[in-house]
């Protein structure tokens, strides 16, 4: 946080942070919802359907908020509320340019609340979903941290505000790390082949996984959290191309479209394969990239 | 105030209390002695903190005639005791190790003892004070907890194990005295003396139950720690001949090449005591002991003595190959034992492996030895001591109530034992979750590693992913409810509640007051050692505090408990029976639902991972020795 960096600029920085925060608070879910709408339209076209209007995800969420709130355990929705709060907080840290490591830790905290909600719901389906979500977190965490470390190795900073203004094409120094990140993007965006904990398709072995017992407002909160998360996850993609704004935005968009194609092209894999493959990719490409960087620079 | 008074009395008071406990065996006398001695010790360590704040470094020579001779006498007595008991149980290797050590050091002291010139026997800097606070506060809380725990332990196991409580409390307090001795000693002969006392005490405590299993595990602990003791003894003798001193503060500033070999041996001794691979199995075996013993060994004493010694010599290790090897041993220990913890369902075993893993991180930081790394190491020591102490104490109580310590049997603990499960969750959060202690430390470790050698982060990155997995699934198991039950937290004594609540408050408190702790305790030490200092940026501290405040507000959501919701049965493929938590099976009968955690046993196999770890770490230790010799 830049509140105290320069004595005289205290107020200015605070205001700037505040503006960024408000912009993010309103903008991020809109971007997320818009992307989700295009996702559905694009997927429909790939399956020779027309697809819903672009704003369908928003209509869905509005409808959900009017539904009756059904729960198995009375406190299960508190965890969902905290999941939403911490996802928003994580994104806020990111878009106001804070320390990348803290952002990742905050994201983990949010994910833990989500998983605990699944446990709290005390239903076999959400329980299995929660276990699988945990496996996924374990699977994607290395690649995300490697992304932060790799960016630090090139630029010497963990601060997103400085990473966003870097003069380097991070992608050129960090191709392996970028690939490892792209690999786990499907988990974060809940797409095949890694939509293991919350399959979007009904009537499969885990029904709706971790979200099985959530309905009404709670389900709406999960959806909104997902919009925020999508924006933030793509924000990290942007950083790899941050030297140019246009390149960054196009890369983020391209990554999302790519994920929609992947989602439609692949069947879901089992969790051991998801875990093993993402760790192997994180190790070979992510850590390999780091080793290469380390030895070419020393 | 005379600066010698407080440190000396911190060693003497627990020792006196120990002997009083041996003499006065009544339960009232026991309660009185334990509580008043604990209060005195805790107070003493606080006074020491302020004394150090005012006076800075405290070092002095203790000119009491006969101290060294007395120590030697006790050492010989202890060795004879070990040899006797080992031979009686057919453990000739243990006896042999004890014999070699006692001969080596007795011979050394008798032959060269008069020629030893020691300027300062005692050396207390801020790091010693931090350790003293951990021992003095957390150690004594555990002693108080034992009062309640041991009573119910013997009530539950009446006739199964002999009631040797006076002996038990005697050793606990001897242990505390020895720990103070370790962190205050500058004279390595003294340090060795206290070191051996902790070895013997832990042996006796682990074997407290007196059955075959605990005897076997106690002897394993003894064997490994005697190996460490042998490293230590050789280091002392070597130091005297080649470096010309046996004082720690002098060694730390000597030329690295001169002291490298003995420091390496001392670090090996530290590795055995802090249960790093390849010596880790003794600490896992130590869980047969009653829970307060585990809490003591894991959080505030024993294993912390090991890392204390290694962190002490971090400055010597910095930038050396030996240091790198030690760091790698720590890194591999962290990675592999974390993986093993994923596959365990015995709560105490999970805690044991998590301790070993976290000590691995500390060792890794100490091996690197840069000022950022040492900063991170001390943070880890503090946060780990508080949270792990709390966790073991919770599991102890839960085990007595549930008659099991399997995580799978803790399903629904949130309604069975609400207060206990909340404390347990606070402890767990302290171990892995932002913004609590261990995560602040992990942030610090990551920062230290990327600046030193980013490749070392690979251990941390994969290890900490698995850490999250095994803690969250345990937390989830507590929250998940299979059937409605009455909450029942009766029969837990005040002596148990008090330490539990205090440690819960501490776990949160050390995070809230982290900036203060860093500023008054850790930074002075780092500045003194490296002339440089490191802190977490003010902005980052603020983020952490905001997160902490948000998490602490979570209980507020319970004002909304049960409002505007319709409670329904869990989805059981539409086959719910009238009970709601059972479903109609294919034969038309009712099957109750069950939920079991993932343990990924096929992928994270304990034996296999241990075998790999032991082999690699022995190789690294040999490599370190070989590099030095050649």
Tokens of B538: 């003010």
- How crowded is the C-beta side of A92, counted as CA atoms within 13 Å? 20
Residue A1 lies in a domain: no
d(CA B499, CA B143): 9
What is the domain range of residue B529?
313-555+591-630
**With contacts defined as CB-CB under 8 Å, which chain B residues touch A70?**
565-568
Q: Dihedrals φ, ψ of B58, to 5°?
A: -115, 120
DSSP-assigned beta bridge partners for residue B346: B406
Give the CA-trace dihedral at B77, B274, B296, B612, to 10 degrees.
Answer: -120
- Quote the minimal CA–CA distance from A206 to chain B in Å: 10
Name the token pair of A172.
């050129």
Q: Between the CA atoms of A70, A73, A79 and A84, what dihedral angle is there, to the nearest 10 degrees?
A: -10
Q: From B226, B252, B271, give the residue that closes a domain.
A: B226
Q: What is the pLDDT of residues B545-572, one digit of tens each?
A: 899 989 888 888 887 777 788 888 888 8
Nearest to B570 among A108, A116, A213 (CB): A213
To the nearest whole Å, the CA of A99 is away from the closest chain B CA by 7
* Contact across the interface for B454 and A142, Cβ inside 8 Å: no
Sign of CA dihedral B276, B280, B286, B287: positive
- Write the pLDDT tens digit of every residue in A245-256: 999 999 999 999
Whole-angstrom Cα distance, residue B500 to residue B493? 11
List phi, psi (to 5°) of B123: -145, 115
- B398 and B503 belong to one structural domain: yes
- Verify that B320 and B195 share a domain, yes or no: no
Would you call A161 an interface residue with chain B, using a CB distance cutoff of 8 Å? no
- Bridge partner residues of B583 (DSSP): B576, B591
Asked if the C-beta of A69 comes within 8 angstroms of chain B's C-beta atoms, the answer is yes
Mean pLDDT for the stretch of residues B448-461? 91
Are residue B212 and residue B331 in the same domain, yes or no?
Answer: no
Within a domain: residue B625? Answer: yes
B557 closest CA partner among A111, A287, A83 = A83
Domain boundary residue among B161, B195, B226? B226
B556 part of contact set with chain A, CB < 8 Å: no
**Which residue among A102, A131, A139 places its CB closest to the CB of B597?**
A131
Answer for the pair A207, A125: CB distance below 8 angstroms, yes or no: yes
Pairwise CA distance, residues B381 & B397, whole Å: 25
pLDDT on residue B460: 94
Q: Is residue B240 part of a domain?
A: no
Is B304's pLDDT higher than 50? yes
- For residue B567, report the phi and psi dihedrals to the nearest 5 degrees: -85, 125
Answer whether residue A13 is part of any domain: yes
In a domain, B243, yes or no: no
- For the stretch B198-223, pLDDT in tens is 999 999 999 998 888 999 999 999 99
Q: Cis link prior to B278 (omega < 30° from 0)?
A: yes
Q: Looking at the complex, report in whole angstroms how far the Cα of residue A110 sits from the nearest Cα belonging to chain B.
A: 10
Q: How far apart are CA B387 and CA B431, in angstroms?
A: 6
Q: Which is nearest to B106 in space by CA: B233, B244, B229, B270?
A: B233
Contacts of B560 in chain A (CB under 8 A): 78
Q: Is A134 on the interface with B (CB under 8 A)?
A: yes
Q: Is the pLDDT of residue B84 over 80?
A: yes
Q: Looking at the domain assignment, is residue A2 inside a domain? A: no
Contact between residue B307 and residue B250 where contact means Cβ atoms under 8 Å apart: no
**Residue B571 Cα distances to A211, B124, B274, B489, angstroms:** 11, 62, 48, 31
| Strand B590-592, strand B582-584: pairing | antiparallel
A141: nearest CB among B434, B468, B571: B468
Contacts of B551 in chain A (CB under 8 A): 109
DSSP state of B580: S
End-to-end CA distance of chain A: 31
* A120 closest CB neighbour out of B442, B455, B480: B480
**SS3 for B58?**
strand
pLDDT for the residue A3: 47
* The model's pTM: 0.94
Mean pLDDT for chain B?
90
Which pLDDT does position A248 carry in this prediction? 94
Mark which residues 163-192 of A lie under 8 Å from B by CB.
Answer: none
pLDDT interval class at B79 (50, 70, 90): very high
Domain boundary among B175, B203, B226: B226
Q: Which helix (H) or strand (E) holds B59?
A: strand B58-60
Q: With contacts defined as CB-CB under 8 Å, which chain A residues touch B540? A: 1, 98-99, 102
Chain B (584-613) residues lying within 8 Å, Cβ to Cβ, of chain A: 593-595, 597-598, 600, 603
Q: What are phi and psi of B452, to 5 degrees?
A: -90, -60
Chain Cα centroid distance, residue B462? 23
Query: Which regions of chain A are under pLDDT 70?
Result: 1-12, 199-207, 298
* pLDDT, tens digit, 9 for 90 and up, residues B226-239: 999 999 999 999 98
Quickly tell me which residue has 């912009």 as its tokens: A23
Closest listed residue to residue B449, CA positions, set B372, B378, B516, B395: B372
Q: Are B202 and B297 in contact (CB under 8 A)?
A: yes
What DSSP element (H or E) covers B82? helix B67-88
pLDDT at residue A205 in the model: 56
Taking alpha carbons only, the member of B575, B614, B619 closest to residue B281 is B614
Q: Which residue has the tokens 């009530």?
A: B155
User: Two tokens at B359?
Assistant: 């000590």
Token pair 């009712």: residue = B590
Q: What is the pLDDT of residue B1?
A: 52
CA atoms within 13 A on the CB side of A28: 29
Strand ranges inside A40-153, DSSP E: 70-71
β-sheet bridge partners, residue B59: B123
User: Domain range for residue A74?
Assistant: 7-297
Chain A CB contacts of B567 below 8 Å: 70-72, 74
CB B628 within 8 A of CB B261: yes
Q: Is any Cβ of chain B less than 8 angstroms from the Cβ of A14?
A: no
How close are the terminal C-alpha atoms of chain B, in Å?
51
Strands (E), B422-553: none
Question: Tens of pLDDT along B243-294?
Answer: 888 888 888 888 888 888 899 999 999 999 999 989 999 999 998 999 999 9
Q: Which two tokens stand for residue B502?
A: 């205090």
Q: What is the reported pLDDT for B471?
A: 95
Q: What is the pLDDT of residue A249?
A: 95
Q: Distance of CA A275 to CAs A179, A194, A270, B342, B462, Å?
A: 16, 10, 9, 14, 12
Q: Which residues of B touch A138 (CB under 8 A)?
A: 465-466, 468-469
pLDDT score at B133: 94
Distance from CA of A255 to the nearest CA of B (A): 25
Q: What is the pLDDT of residue B490?
A: 83
User: Is residue A197 in a domain?
Assistant: yes
Q: Are B225 and B202 in contact (CB under 8 A)?
A: yes
* Interfacial B residues in 417-476 facing A (CB < 8 Å): 433-435, 439, 442-443, 446-447, 450, 453-455, 457-458, 461-462, 464-466, 468-469, 472-473, 475-476
pLDDT (0 to 100) of residue A4: 47
Based on its alpha-carbon atoms, the radius of gyration of chain B, rounded to whole angstroms, reads 25
- The runs of H, that is alpha helices, within B239-299 are 248-253, 256-273, 281-285, 291-295
Say how many domains are in chain A.
1
pLDDT tens digits for range B462-501: 999 999 999 999 999 999 988 888 888 888 888 899 999 9
Phi and psi at B185, nearest 5°, equal -75, 140
A-to-B residue pairs, Cβ atoms closer than 8 angstroms: 183
Contacts of B594 in chain A (CB under 8 A): 124
- Contact, A255 vs A57, CB < 8 A? no
**Is residue B312 pLDDT above 50, yes or no?**
yes
Residue B273: asked if its preceding bond is cis (omega within 30°), the reply is no
Contact A24, A91 (CB under 8 A): yes
Residues A178, A180, A183, A184: is their CA dihedral positive or negative?
Answer: negative
B579-625: per-residue pLDDT in tens? 878 888 888 888 888 888 889 988 899 899 999 999 999 999 999 88
Any domain includes B18: yes
Put simply, the chain B residues between 153 and 172 with a CB less than 8 A from any chain A CB are none
| Integer Cα distance of A290 and B609 in angstroms | 25
The burial class, CB within 10 Å (0-12 / 13-18 / 19+), for B612 is middle
Taking the C-alpha atoms of residue B43 and residue B136, their distance in angstroms, rounded to an integer, is 8
Lowest model confidence (mean pLDDT) among A51-60, B255-264, B384-393, B425-434 = B255-264
Per the CB < 8 Å rule, is A1 touching B542? yes
Residue A207: predicted pLDDT: 67
What per-residue string of b and e applies to B340-357 under the rule 16 or more CB within 10 Å gives b? bbbbbbbbbbbbbbbbbb
Nearest 5°: the CA angle B518, B302, B278 is: 105
- Nearest chain A alpha carbon to B539: A1
CB contact under 8 A, B538 and A4: yes
Same domain, B615 and B495: yes
Q: What is the pLDDT of residue A200?
A: 56
Best probe of the A interface among B341, B372, B416, B458, by most A CBs < 10 A, is B458
- ipTM, two decimals: 0.92
Q: What pLDDT, on the 0 to 100 scale, is given for residue A1?
A: 44
Q: Tell me, what's the pLDDT at B163?
A: 86
Residue A237's nearest CA partner among A225, A245, A249, A227 is: A249
Question: Which residues of chain A have a CB within 8 Å of the CB of B457?
Answer: 145, 149, 290
């Amino acid at each position: 946080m830049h509140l105290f960096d320069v004595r005289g600029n205290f107020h200015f920085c605070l205001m700037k942070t505040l503006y960024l925060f408000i912009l993010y608070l309103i903008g991020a879910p809109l971007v997320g919802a818009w992307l989700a709408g295009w996702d559905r339209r694009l997927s429909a076209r790939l399956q020779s359907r027309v697809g819903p209007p672009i704003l369908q995800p928003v209509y869905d969420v509005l409808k959900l908020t009017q539904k009756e709130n059904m729960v198995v355990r009375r406190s299960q929705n508190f965890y969902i509320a905290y999941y939403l709060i911490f996802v928003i907080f994580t994104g806020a840290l990111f878009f106001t340019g804070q320390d990348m490591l803290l952002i990742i830790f905050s994201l983990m905290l949010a994910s833990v609340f989500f998983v605990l909600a699944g446990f709290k719901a005390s239903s076999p389906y959400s329980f299995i979903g929660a276990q699988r979500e945990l496996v996924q977190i374990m699977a994607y965490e290395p690649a995300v941290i490697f992304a932060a470390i790799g960016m630090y190795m090139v630029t010497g900073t963990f601060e997103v505000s400085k990473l966003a203004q870097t003069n380097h094409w991070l992608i050129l120094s960090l191709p392996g790390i970028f690939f490892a990140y792209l690999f786990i993007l499907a988990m974060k965006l809940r797409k095949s082949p890694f939509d293991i904990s919350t399959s979007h398709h009904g009537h499969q072995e885990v029904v709706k996984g971790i979200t099985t017992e959530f309905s009404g407002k709670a389900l709406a909160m999960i959806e909104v959290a997902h919009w925020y998360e999508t924006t933030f996850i793509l924000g990290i993609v942007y950083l790899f191309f941050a030297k140019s704004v246009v390149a960054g935005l196009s890369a983020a968009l391209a990554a999302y479209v790519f994920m929609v194609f992947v989602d439609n092209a692949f069947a879901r894999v089992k969790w051991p394969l998801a875990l093993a493959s993402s760790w192997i990719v994180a190790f070979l490409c992510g850590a390999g990239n780091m080793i290469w960087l380390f030895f070419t620079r020393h | 105030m005379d600066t010698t008074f407080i440190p000396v009395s911190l060693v003497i008071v627990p020792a006196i209390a120990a002997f009083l406990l041996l003499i006065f065996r009544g339960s009232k006398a026991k309660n009185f002695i334990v509580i008043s001695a604990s209060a005195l010790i805790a107070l003493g360590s606080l006074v020491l903190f302020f004394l150090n704040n005012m006076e800075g470094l405290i070092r002095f020579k203790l000119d009491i005639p006969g101290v060294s001779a007395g120590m030697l006498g006790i050492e010989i007595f202890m060795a004879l005791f070990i040899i006797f008991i080992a031979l009686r149980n057919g453990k000739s290797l243990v006896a042999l190790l004890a014999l070699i050590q006692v001969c080596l050091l007795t011979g050394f002291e008798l032959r060269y003892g008069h020629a030893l010139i020691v300027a300062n026997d005692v050396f207390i800097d801020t790091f010693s004070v931090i350790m003293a606070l951990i021992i003095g506060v957390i150690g004594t809380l555990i002693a108080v907890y034992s009062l309640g725990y041991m009573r119910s332990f013997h009530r539950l196991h009446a006739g199964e194990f002999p009631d040797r409580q006076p002996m038990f409390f005697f050793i606990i307090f001897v242990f505390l005295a020895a720990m103070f001795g370790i962190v205050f000693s500058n004279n390595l002969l003294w340090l060795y003396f206290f070191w051996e006392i902790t070895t013997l005490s832990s042996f006796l405590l682990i074997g407290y139950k007196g059955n075959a299993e605990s005897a076997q595990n106690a002897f394993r602990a003894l064997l490994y720690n005697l190996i460490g003791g042998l490293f230590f003894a050789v280091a002392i003798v070597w130091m005297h001949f080649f470096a010309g001193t046996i004082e720690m503060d002098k060694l730390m500033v000597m030329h690295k090449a001169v002291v490298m070999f003995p420091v390496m041996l001392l670090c090996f001794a530290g590795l055995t005591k802090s249960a790093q691979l390849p010596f880790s199995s003794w600490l896992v075996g130590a869980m047969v002991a009653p829970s307060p013993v585990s809490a003591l060994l894991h959080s505030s004493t024993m294993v912390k003595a090991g890392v204390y010694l290694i962190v002490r010599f971090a400055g010597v290790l910095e930038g050396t190959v030996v240091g790198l090897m030690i760091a790698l041993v720590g890194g591999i220990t962290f990675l592999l034992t974390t993986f093993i913890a994923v596959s365990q369902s015995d709560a105490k075993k999970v805690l044991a492996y998590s301790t070993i893993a976290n000590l691995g991180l500390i060792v890794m930081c100490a091996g690197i030895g840069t000022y950022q790394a040492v900063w991170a190491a001390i943070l880890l020591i503090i946060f780990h001591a508080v949270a792990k102490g709390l966790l073991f104490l919770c599991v102890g109580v839960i085990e007595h109530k549930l008659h099991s310590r399997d995580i799978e049997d803790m399903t629904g603990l949130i309604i069975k034992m609400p207060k206990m499960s909340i404390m347990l969750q606070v402890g767990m959060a302290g171990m892995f979750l932002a913004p609590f202690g261990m995560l602040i430390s992990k942030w610090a470790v990551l920062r230290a590693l990327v600046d030193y050698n980013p490749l070392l982060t690979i251990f941390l990155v994969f290890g900490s992913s698995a850490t999250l997995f095994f803690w969250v699934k345990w937390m989830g198991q507590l929250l998940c409810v299979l059937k409605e039950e009455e909450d029942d937290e009766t029969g837990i004594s005040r002596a148990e509640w008090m330490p539990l609540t205090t440690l819960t408050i501490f776990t949160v408190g050390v995070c809230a007051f982290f900036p203060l702790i860093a500023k008054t305790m850790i930074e002075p030490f780092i500045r003194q050692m490296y002339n440089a200092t490191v802190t977490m940026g003010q902005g980052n501290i603020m983020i952490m505090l905001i997160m902490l405040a948000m998490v602490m507000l979570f209980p507020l959501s319970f004002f909304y408990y049960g409002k505007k919701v319709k409670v329904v049965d869990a989805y059981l493929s539409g086959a719910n029976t009238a009970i709601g938590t059972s479903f109609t099976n294919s034969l038309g009968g009712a099957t109750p639902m069950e939920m079991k955690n993932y343990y990924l046993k096929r992928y994270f196999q304990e034996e296999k991972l241990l075998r790999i770890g032991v082999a690699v770490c022995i190789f690294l230790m040999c490599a370190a020795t070989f590099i030095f010799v050649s």
